Structure 1
Amino acid sequence: MKLRFLIVLSMLFFACNTDDEPVIADAALEGEWQLLNVVCYCSFEPDTDFSLTKINFDTDRSRVTVIHDGQYSFFREAGEHFYGGQGDRIGFSDDTVYRFEVEGSLLTLTLQDNPEIADDEVTFVFKR
């Protein structure tokens, strides 16, 4: 009897998954966003028009479409990109991960940087 109990108990123990964080909370991302600003350890020309970059989240399909109407490519290359993640993290197939926060009509995407590189922090601020 004790052996059966130990077997059942061990099966329950190994069935538990410690990665049970909530799936990505991306409902607030849905729709079109226009780039407002890029914050980083870099410089841009004073007349750089960030608003020429737009992104459109389709949360049902877990895809984001990036459009660049200007000469610069901000955030990601133009086109459709699949994303996944957990909680407030968005990950792409090239292993880049962004933390996102939506406050009212503003979306902030912050690159989860490499802690060994001091100047690779970048934050993208979008507005609806």
Structure 2
Amino acid sequence: MKTIIILILSLGFIESCSEETISSKTSTDLEGKWSLESAVCFCYFEDDLDFSEHTVSFNNSSQKLTITNPENTFFVSKSDEYNYSIDGNLITIETVGGYFYEIKDGKLILTRDDNPQIADDELTLTYIKD
């Protein structure tokens, strides 16, 4: 009898930690508009660049990501609306590629899923929620 109870409790615990539960919780945290606070990359931009002009807006119900930035500078992609999907902590943006994400201290940190064969494609973006 103890074995059956332990087996049932174990199955319940394993089911409660399913990936679907984790994904729905984290994707909800992304919902809304985020403004760029800083960028770390092997790329050139002016010292006085106004990062706050670069925004990303996640709409979980439609799975659309709206990217807004000035015409002359962009980090993720040009201003437009993109389909996206989430698998764990990887956001895949249609026609753009993948970014690992983390929400820490109220900030969204996106790190490009880089190609190890390209030495200088590292990119880390930190956003604050509007």
State the TM bucket, normalised to the shorter chain.
0.7 to 0.9
User: TM-score under structure 2 normalisation?
Assistant: 0.75
The residue number in structure 1 matching 2:102 is 101
Cα distance between partner residues in 2 of 1:91 and 1:49: 26
The residue number in structure 2 matching 1:42 is 43
Q: What is the Cα deviation at residue 70 of structure 1? A: 5.9
Q: What is the Cα deviation at residue 90 of structure 1? A: 0.5
- Which residues of structure 1 form unaligned runs of 5+? 1-20
Cα distance between partner residues in 1 of 2:80 and 2:94: 14
Which secondary structure does the structure 2 equivalent of 1:26 belong to? helix
Q: What is the Cα deviation at residue 118 of structure 1? A: 1.1
User: TM-score under structure 1 normalisation?
Assistant: 0.76
The residue number in structure 2 matching 1:63 is 64
Provide Cα deviations, 1:40-99, integer angstroms capped at 9, x if missing partner.
122321111111111111011111111124632222211111001310001122261100
Cα distance between partner residues in 1 of 2:91 and 2:30: 11
Cα distance between partner residues in 2 of 1:51 and 1:97: 22
Assess, with a 3 A threshold, how the Cα gap between structure 1 residues 84 and 119 changes in structure 2: closer, same or farther.
Answer: same
The residue number in structure 2 matching 1:77 is 78
**Alpha carbons 1:52, 1:70 under 8 Å: kept:** no
Assess, with a 3 A threshold, how the Cα gap between structure 1 residues 115 and 64 changes in structure 2: closer, same or farther.
Answer: same
Higher Rg: 1
RMSD, aligned α-carbons = 1.7
Greater helix fraction, Structure 1 or Structure 2? 2
Report the number of matched residues. 108
Cα distance between partner residues in 2 of 1:60 and 1:66: 17
Return the letter of the residue paired with 1:68.
N
Pick from 13, 16, 22: which aligns with 2:19?
A: 22
% identical equivalent positions:
32
User: 4+ residue runs of structure 1 moved beyond 4 angstroms?
Assistant: none
Cα distance between partner residues in 2 of 1:74 and 1:95: 11
Return the letter of the residue paired with 1:85.
I
Q: What is the Cα deviation at residue 104 of structure 1? A: 3.1
Mean CA deviation greater in 107-116 or 70-79: 70-79
- Which residues of structure 2 form unaligned runs of 5+? 1-17
1:89 lines up with 2:90 in the alignment:
yes
